[in-house]
Structure 1
Amino acid sequence: MAEHVFLTTERLVLRPFTEADLDEVLALHGDPEVMRFINGGRPASRTTIRDEILPRLMRHHASFGTRGFWAAEDRTTRRFLGWFELRPLADDGPVVVELGYRLHRFAWGRGHATEGARALVRKGFTELGVRRVIAQTMAVNTASRSVLEKTGLTYVRTFYEDWPDPIAGAEHGEVEYALTETDWRRRLGQAS
């Protein structure tokens, strides 16, 4: 049986997660630098990956007609790079989705995050019925903010959460970025 591919770009393959990805996800979520802006760098246990994180990455959203997370691989070598998210915020449809990504350090600074994010935004607006894409990150996560801006999202607001165990930089807040289908098409010179 051929493996299902959700999306390909010039350098990436995005495919559904399977239970066989446990060790790859464990390694990704076990890197303190990868997790720095997520939980302060604490690695997730194998049990947490198996019982909580991998099932979330494998969840099918019936109203969306697909999953919300995809494993990202190098298109040439098929090496696991991390994951991308384009997930509906409500179970009743794909009108508003959240964009996200988490990549291994060896994939940082090479344009993979921007390439994958742009391709997902395009697919969302052209094939999946998405009307608005949002993304959130820590205000101090300048690398992620740059990816969001290169993807076409614009800054919406800064907000503050009352975290029970705040991590370094949390005092600067979280930022939200967004892009509507109308604005995306306008930038491309297309009519809605």
Structure 2
Amino acid sequence: MHTARLRLTPIGPHLADELYRLHADPGIARWYGTWTRADAQARAAAIGRGWAAEGAGKWLAHHRESGELIGRGGLSYQDVDGARRLELGWAVREVHWGRGYATEIGRAGLEYAFETLGAGEVLSYTEVHNLRSRAVMERLGFTYRREIRRGGEPFAFYRLSARAW
């Protein structure tokens, strides 16, 4: 899949080394913790299984012209409020913050969710104090719903319906 500036490649085991490199970025590690190579291999394999079983998962995002690794993003199914729901997320290397890449990745994820998967809604959430991600959610048209707890921590929970898209 391509956007105006990015090439989006579904993550699978073959991209574990790049996923590891991405999560070594200080700006990403700040939100997701430090990953080992084994963590990246396990996550890449799990994401690949999600693509195969559910037709949804995360992509690695590379710049279309330079090939530089920009970030990752896309969809996954999460258990929220006792139901399995489609969630959109992204992570962009700190050097690229403020350039619209998260919004571009998010827009591609919404297009895929609504136009390819036929989703009725998409959810997104982030730590309450992650104002940059919250601003991306709002630019994409998500509406803040409430605070939820994930792993005991407060998260801002957003929703976007297919009708509003």
TM-score over 0.5 for the alignment? yes
Provide the residue aligned with 2:134 in structure 1. Answer: 145
* Cα distance in 1 for residues equivalent to 2:25 and 2:68: 17
Residue 97 of structure 2 is aligned to residue 103 of structure 1:
no
Distance 1:46 1:61, change over 3 A: closer
Q: Confirm or deny: 8 A CA contact 1:22 1:54 kept in the other structure.
A: yes
Output aligned runs, 1:67-146, within 5 Å: 67-89=56-78, 96-146=85-135
Q: Residue type of the partner of 1:16?
A: P
* Matched length: 161
Q: Confirm or deny: 8 A CA contact 2:12 2:45 kept in the other structure.
A: no
Structure ranking higher in strand proportion: 2
Q: In angstroms, what is the RMSD of aligned CA positions?
A: 2.1
Tell me the CA shift for residue 152 of structure 1: 0.9
Q: Confirm or deny: 8 A CA contact 2:74 2:105 kept in the other structure.
A: no
TM norm structure 1: 0.75
1:178 pairs, out of 147, 159, 164, with 159
Tell me the CA shift for residue 118 of structure 1: 1.1
Secondary structure at 2:28's aligned position in 1? Answer: coil
Tell me the CA shift for residue 107 of structure 1: 2.0
1:29-65 per-residue CA deviation (whole Å, 9 max, x = no partner) reads 12333122234xxx11112222x2111232234564x
Residue 25 of structure 2 is aligned to residue 34 of structure 1:
no
TM norm structure 2: 0.86
Q: Confirm or deny: 8 A CA contact 2:11 2:48 kept in the other structure.
A: yes
Q: Residue type of the partner of 1:176?
A: F
1:59 pairs, out of 36, 45, 49, with 49
Tell me the CA shift for residue 9 of structure 1: 0.9
Identity %: 31
Distance 1:88 1:17, change over 3 A: same
1:66-87 per-residue CA deviation (whole Å, 9 max, x = no partner) reads 2311111111112221211212
